[in-house]
Amino acid sequence: MRQRFWFRPPYAALAGGLLSLALLLAVATAPADPPFIVVASTTSTEQSGLFGHIAPRFTEATGVRVRVVAVGTGQAFAIARAGDADILLVHDPDGEAEFVAAGFGVERSPVMFNDFVILGPANDPAGIAGAQSAVEALQRIAAAQVPFASRGDDSGTHRAEQRLWAAADIDPAGRWYRELGSGMGPTMNTAAGMDAYVVADRATWLNFHNRQNLVILFQGDEVLFNRYGSVLINPERHPHLKHDLAIQWHEWLVSAPGQAAIASYEINGEPLFFPNAD
């Protein structure tokens, strides 16, 4: 075996490695981010494209950037309880009231609403298109034992669906009732794939492109209203959060420019969310 330079190449490589590590750490910890807030919100607001429409307008008005973590409403509450988000924008009025009552939040303001729709295969095997109410539509699905895809993820939409089943006095179970444990989009992808019925929020549906055989079969019942609220987090519980910036966002959402920004978001000429601040 030939004589080796033992030290130089390996130590040079090691030094190089350490140097690059130091550089990377320097990059990773680089300061001077512009001011921003973290908003814990729902998949419907993100996947429908609403945030992409309104957040830049808020940033333009205030210089504050908006970082959206889009998860199910249940998880959004958990993130906010742990102090990992500066503010909430979710759609579960009962859960929001509980969150405030338990001392995690200090104020809840209505921001906007839209509605849930019941989607299903175009040939409508359960015949829900002629139902008089959303509750009756679900009763027909359960009676026909046709596949129904449920979010099953403790999201706002899942909670709304659960309330509808409770109102219909049905405990959905059996092979026809499929709990997917996924977000709205993945649930619609699966429903489209297995010709299942599904309760969806209209905004995500309008922005959804893999519809295959899915159509809206039932809509318009008042119980299908979907209300979104902004919830300020209690500064006493989490003093490290950016409450001043969060309040700016909260107030902008319910202000005239914020409400106008929400109203102006349309897909194919159809508005997705209707502002309803007090």
Partner 1 sequence: MDENPLTQAFRLILELDPALVGIVSLSLKVSLSAVAVAAVLGLPLGALLALYRFRGRGAAVASLNALMGLPPVVAGLMIYLLLSRAGPLGSLGLLFTPTAMIIVQTLLVFPIIAALARQVIEDLWDEYREQLQSLGSGRLRAIPTLLWDARFSLVTGVLAGFGRASAEVGAVLIVGGNIDGVTRVMTTAIALETSRGNLALALGLGIVLMLLGLLINISIYVIGEQTKRRLG
Query: What character string, x for contact with partner 1 (CB under 8 A) and - otherwise, covers 31-50?
Result: -------x----x--xx---
29 vs 123 by CB, closer to partner 1: 29
Q: Is 24 in the site for partner 1 (CB under 8 A)?
A: yes
Q: Is 13 in the site for partner 1 (CB under 8 A)?
A: yes
Q: Is 68 in the site for partner 1 (CB under 8 A)?
A: yes
Q: How many CB atoms lie within 10 A of CB 34?
A: 8
DSSP, res 268: T
Distance CA 41, CA 197 (A): 25
DSSP, res 241: S
Q: Is 211 in the site for partner 1 (CB under 8 A)?
A: yes
Q: How many CB atoms lie within 10 A of CB 89?
A: 26
End-to-end CA distance of the chain: 84
Q: Using the rule CB under 8 A, which residue among 7, 26, 31, 132 binds partner 1?
A: 7
Least CB distance from residue 86 to partner 1, whole Å? 11
Q: Using the rule CB under 8 A, which residue among 133, 238, 263, 271 binds partner 1?
A: 238
Long-range contacts of 251-255 (CB under 8 A, 24+ apart): 252/58, 252/61, 252/62, 253/89, 253/109, 253/111, 253/277, 254/109, 254/110, 254/111, 254/230, 254/278
Q: Which residues bind partner 1 (CB under 8 A)?
A: 1, 4, 6-7, 9-11, 13-14, 17-18, 20-21, 24, 27-29, 38, 43, 46-47, 51-52, 67-71, 81-84, 183-186, 188-189, 207-211, 238, 240
